[in-house]
Amino acid sequence: MVKWAGFLFNADDCIHCKACEIACKNENQTPTGIQWRRVEKVAPELYLSISCNHCDSPECFRVCPERAFTKRKDGIVQIDEDLCTGCGLCVTACPYHAPQFNPETHKVSKCQMCYPRQDAGLPPACVEACTTGALSIVDLNQFSDPEATRTLPGFPDIRITCPSIVFYPPKPRKRYFL
């Protein structure tokens, strides 16, 4: 079976260091303000590193009048910037703020899951940069772990889009506060 490329994000291991976010900019040289990957604090002690989730049902892909989006057989959703007219429909359609409008080029761009790197057998830049291993890629056709969850509090609604990401939630810890 063809692989189904997805992200695995371990919220228990993420330290919010933002290396993934900036490594993405380093690899793709995106301008300031265009964040294909973002690390966000969504609740006390809960950080999420979110990019395009290369959804099984990508809304960007459905709504684009120019058919600028394609979904590869391994699940990666690509955008062809040459076809983009900057109409912004995908920007509003995506619950994860993955497609981002660049006011200077009047084009939308988004995470392409570093497909040139993956095609060369390398992990995406964000995954390579993750010093704790909290962010990784998995083949969702093979992945199965009862401890993994489809979503976490603070992650946008996964209905409709079926994002290609799975999570490990934070574990409870023991604390003595003053």
Partner 1 sequence: MQSPYVVPDFVQELLAVSSSGVTAIIQKLSSLLSLPVLVVDPFYQVLFFSTGNEAVDEIVIIPDNEQEFSSVFNCQISTVDTIKNGVAHPITVNSKKLGFLILSWNDAGLDARRYEEVLSYASSLCALQMQKSLEIKREKQKFKEAFLFDLLYGNIKQKEDIIEYGEIWGWDFHVPHTVIVFSSKEEDHFFTNKQMINTLLQIVEKELIMQNVKPIAMVKHQQVITMFPQADTNHDVDRGKLQAFTETILKNAAKLAGELEIACGIGKRYTNPAELFRSYQEAKIALELGILLEISTPMFADLGLERILYKHDLQDLIEFHNHTLGSLLEYDKKHDGYLFVTLEALVANQFDIGKTAAASFLHRNTLRYRVKKIEDILDVKLDDLHVRLNILAAFKIRQLRKIGNEGC
Partner 2 sequence: MKDGIYRNTCPRNCYGSCSILSYVKNDRLVKVTGDPKHGFTKGRLCAKGYASTQFVYNPQRLKYPMRQIPRGSGNWQRISWDEAYTIIAGKIIELNQRYGSNLACGYNKFSGNLGLLHYAVEGMFNSLGPHTKPIGNPCALTGKHAVNQSFGDHYSADPEEMARANLIVIWGSNPAVTNVHQMKFIYEARRKGAKLVVIDPIFTRTAEKADLYLQINPGTDGWLAGAIAKLIIEKGIIDEEAMVKQTIGWEEYQQFLHQQINLAHVAEQTGVPIKAMVELAELYGKVKPAATWAGLGIQRSDRGGRSISAINSLAVMTGMLSDPGSGLYYMHFEIEHFPQRLACHDGPVHPTIPHSREVDMSHFSKNALALTDPPLKLLWVASRNIVTQDQNLHSWQQLFQQLELIVTVDLYLTKTAKQADIVLPAATHFEEEDLHVGYWHYWLSINQKVLPPYYEAKSDLQIARELTRRLNELSPGFSNFPYEKEPIDWIKTELSPEIMRQYGINGYEDLLDGPHKKVAQTHSLKKYNLFPAIETNLLQGDQQQPFTYRLLSPQSLLKIHSQYECVSWLTYGETDNIIELSTMAANEHEINENTKIEIYNEQGAITGVAKINPTLPRNVVLASQAGSNPINQLIFQKEDHDANGSSTFFYDSIVKIRKGRDTHG
User: 38 Cβ partners below 8 Å, 6+ apart?
Assistant: 21, 49, 50, 51, 97
Distance of CA 149 to the CA centre of its chain: 16
Note whether 73 binds partner 1 by CB under 8 A.
yes
Tokens 């962010």 sit on residue: 135
Contacts with partner 2 by CB under 8 A lie at 12-13, 15-19, 21-23, 25-27, 29, 32-33, 35, 45, 128-133, 173-178
Number of residues counted as binding partner 1 (CB under 8 A): 21
Q: Kindly identify the residues of this chain, within the stretch 22-61, that bind partner 1 according to CB under 8 A.
A: 56-59, 61
Contact between 110 and 98 (Cβ < 8 Å):
yes
DSSP secondary-structure letter at 116?
A: H
Q: CB 93 → partner 1: shortest distance, Å? A: 8
Note whether 7 binds partner 1 by CB under 8 A.
no
Give the three-class secondary structure for 24.
helix
Q: Which residues bind partner 1 (CB under 8 A)?
A: 4, 56-59, 61-62, 67, 70-71, 73, 93, 140-141, 143-144, 150, 159-160, 162, 166
